Structure 1
Amino acid sequence: MGHGKEVKTRPDPKVEIQEKGEIFFFYRPKVDKEEAHGPDDVQRMYIVLRPEHSADRAVEEKQAPDSGKEGRKHHHQGGAGDGGSGGGASKEEGHQGGHGKEEVNIEEQPLLRLVVMGKKSLPDPAKHSRPYWGYVELVTTKLQDIKDALKEEKYSTATRGQRRRPAARALGEGVYRILRHEPGGRGRRPHTHLVYKLELPTRGAREPQEAMNVEPEASFLVQVKNPDAPSGGAGRGGGDGSFRGLQSKRRAAFPAHLQGAFGSRRFAPADPPDLLNYEGCELLLIAASDDVEEELGLELEAEVGEGSQGEEQQRAAECSDLVKMFGEVADVKPLLSGGWD
């Protein structure tokens, strides 16, 4: 549906748009479950970010194509269990983080990031809760890689025999911005926001969305973990203490000019957003607001036209990029109906 547009509603709101694009939300039911009927049935929550070119940002820097899960997958030429599943089977836990660099003209080819949220939800944007930990699982220019990561997978284990990892379910589709905010005031440093506005579901029931805190619009502060810093306290960012960060070999290995953004700090703003283009990039999402306009003086405008709820839903489904790109591998019922499976 495109990346929409933004309107500044206050003079000089001190925000600078660094990246714009489309955002997609997915969840995966637990292993061997046919359906999910509530958050307890959810195994993982995913965010897919697809940056789009703008007048001043047509080229992004990403990890080298032979690194991370992207490189492992292509080395195995798409074979079974080659790392494209994204499901976390034990033999895939050892892949290296992204490293090296290449430039991608996002006007000519897609750039896609698959982010895993550790707590299987977003932080509640209306509450100042503890930061939620996540990490970049996959960065690729090939749509099929993301489709492979979301599709159903069957695999064998030594103790439980054949297991089935269900296909992901589509949870939301919208537009996003990554922006630098300079709040002003003594001692207040510039920081990075991820803001989004949903296009689907449009209106009506939103049971899975509400259960996983995917609000119609929201703003989060984004901080990236220094991969050279020790991981002892990373669990505090997970929201429940169960996440201690990725193993060192799975962390991103940023080029010197990006690693330099951290200095001696454990965390730094996602500035530039190229930091998110490396598999193994660990990040924190911190609830900021569920009213982007009030907080930042910026209003995101989606591309779903006015009409009755049924008309909106049908029109949106017909032009939905999520449905077009992932509908053959991810169940879109929760996206279109606002209900569980």
Structure 2
Amino acid sequence: MASKDRKQVEIVERGDIFFLYRPRVGETDPESLSDVQRFFVVLRPEHATKVRLLVVGRKRLPDAHEHERHWGFVGAIASSAAALEKDLREEIYDTKTRGRQRLPAARPAGEGRYLVCRAAQWTIASQLRARASRAAIRGTTRLQHRTAGKLRLSVKNPEKPSPPGLGLGQAQETDYPDRLQQEFRGRRFARDDIKLLDVQGAEFVLVGARTDPEKAYNVDLDVEKEDERHSEMLRELKMAKSRHPIEPLFSGEWA
């Protein structure tokens, strides 16, 4: 029989999770989060034909001990992880007031495994749990992310208003098909169907929760120590050294 702290869970999705950050325009040597423009999380589910690129607010994951809440949205849906790579490359563009601008390529910061599960008798039914294997996302490094943890995930109803100062503009909000829109049942948030994240522009809230999900739920996230040659991220996202500085993935430092 499971102990009180080990809930029986239904795993609805598992796969690879990748973390990346993009420095601000013109920033070649970032030293803190203030030098970062965006923080990305890529979810690549097993046996699926869609890969999600999530954009997480405040440029880091929410702290589990503080139960922080961070807003985010689905930036892109692709048929494969490699198909996302072109959206993560360096961009050079011209402006009328500041001339030519350079937006650096996204840089890999961590990778690991994740589960999305439904736990019986929980008020919040679905959780996104990630264990990252790279030093760059440990809580003691500059990126301020944790090696293991659980995040409660809720998807926002686009027909309901966002809190002041949060959320995408009306032109960027998603328009769910009727079948998925019905999942909200008139509520501001839904937590029952992971397919709500399979639409570009879907907005969500992540809440930091338990810090050791493997122990609590007796699940194995199958994280292995890897080097450059065996990195799932570099292989799946086709991230060439010539386009994306990969040092943060292994050193845990800014690059």
TM-score by length of 2: 0.90
Tell me by how many angstroms 1:316 deviates: 3.1
Give 1:136's aligned residue. 74
Does residue 35 in structure 1 map to residue 29 in structure 2?
yes
Tell me by how many angstroms 1:318 deviates: 1.5
Tell me by how many angstroms 1:142 deviates: 4.4
Does residue 199 in structure 1 map to residue 138 in structure 2?
no
In terms of Rg, which structure is larger? Answer: 1
Give 1:24's aligned residue. 18
What CA deviation, in whole Å up to 9, does each residue of 1:213-236 have, x standing for no partner? Answer: 3211110000000011122x1x4x
What CA deviation, in whole Å up to 9, does each residue of 1:270-329 have, x standing for no partner? Answer: x2211111001000000112111344343423133xxxxxxxxxx532111212234213
Give 1:91's aligned residue. none
RMSD (Å), alpha carbons: 2.3
Identity across the alignment (%): 35
Matches within 5 A, 1:236-275: 243-269=165-191, 271-275=192-196
Tell me if structure 1 keeps the 8 A contact 2:74–2:197.
yes
Q: Match of 2:166, as an amino acid?
A: R
Tell me if structure 1 keeps the 8 A contact 2:7–2:216.
no
Task: For structure 1, list consecutive stretches of 5 or more residues without a partner in the other structure.
Answer: 1-7, 54-105, 236-242, 305-314
State how far apart, in whole Å, the 1-side matches of 2:186 and 2:36 are.
37
1:208/1:323 CA distance change after superposition, 3 Å: farther
1:208/1:164 CA distance change after superposition, 3 Å: farther
Matches within 5 A, 1:70-109: 106=48
TM-score by length of 1: 0.68
State how far apart, in whole Å, the 2-side matches of 1:18 and 1:141 are.
20
What CA deviation, in whole Å up to 9, does each residue of 1:69-115 have, x standing for no partner? Answer: xxxxxxxxxxxxxxxxxxxxxxxxxxxxxxxxxxxxx2xxx421111
9-18 or 257-266, which deviates more:
9-18
DSSP 3-state at the match of 2:67: coil
DSSP 3-state at the match of 2:59: coil
Tell me by how many angstroms 1:9 deviates: 7.7
Q: Match of 1:303, as an amino acid?
A: E
State how far apart, in whole Å, the 2-side matches of 1:29 and 1:273 are.
30
Q: 1:319 aligns with which of 230, 250, 253?
A: 230
Give 1:146's aligned residue. 84
1:190/1:44 CA distance change after superposition, 3 Å: closer
State how far apart, in whole Å, the 1-side matches of 2:57 and 2:124 are.
26
State how far apart, in whole Å, the 2-side matches of 1:143 and 1:176 are.
15
1:210/1:295 CA distance change after superposition, 3 Å: farther
Tell me if structure 2 keeps the 8 A contact 1:30–1:166.
yes
Give 1:224's aligned residue. 155
Q: Match of 1:249, as an amino acid?
A: A
1:214/1:300 CA distance change after superposition, 3 Å: same
Tell me if structure 1 keeps the 8 A contact 2:127–2:150.
yes
1:212/1:267 CA distance change after superposition, 3 Å: farther
1:284/1:207 CA distance change after superposition, 3 Å: closer
Q: Match of 1:156, as an amino acid?
A: D
Tell me by how many angstroms 1:196 deviates: 1.0
Tell me if structure 2 keeps the 8 A contact 1:21–1:177.
yes
What CA deviation, in whole Å up to 9, does each residue of 1:159-196 have, x standing for no partner? Answer: 111000001111100000111122x3xxx535110001
What CA deviation, in whole Å up to 9, does each residue of 1:15-38 have, x standing for no partner? Answer: 110001100000111100112111
Give 1:331's aligned residue. 245
Count of residue correspondences: 251
Give 2:62's aligned residue. 123
1:215/1:295 CA distance change after superposition, 3 Å: same
State how far apart, in whole Å, the 2-side matches of 1:154 and 1:244 are.
28
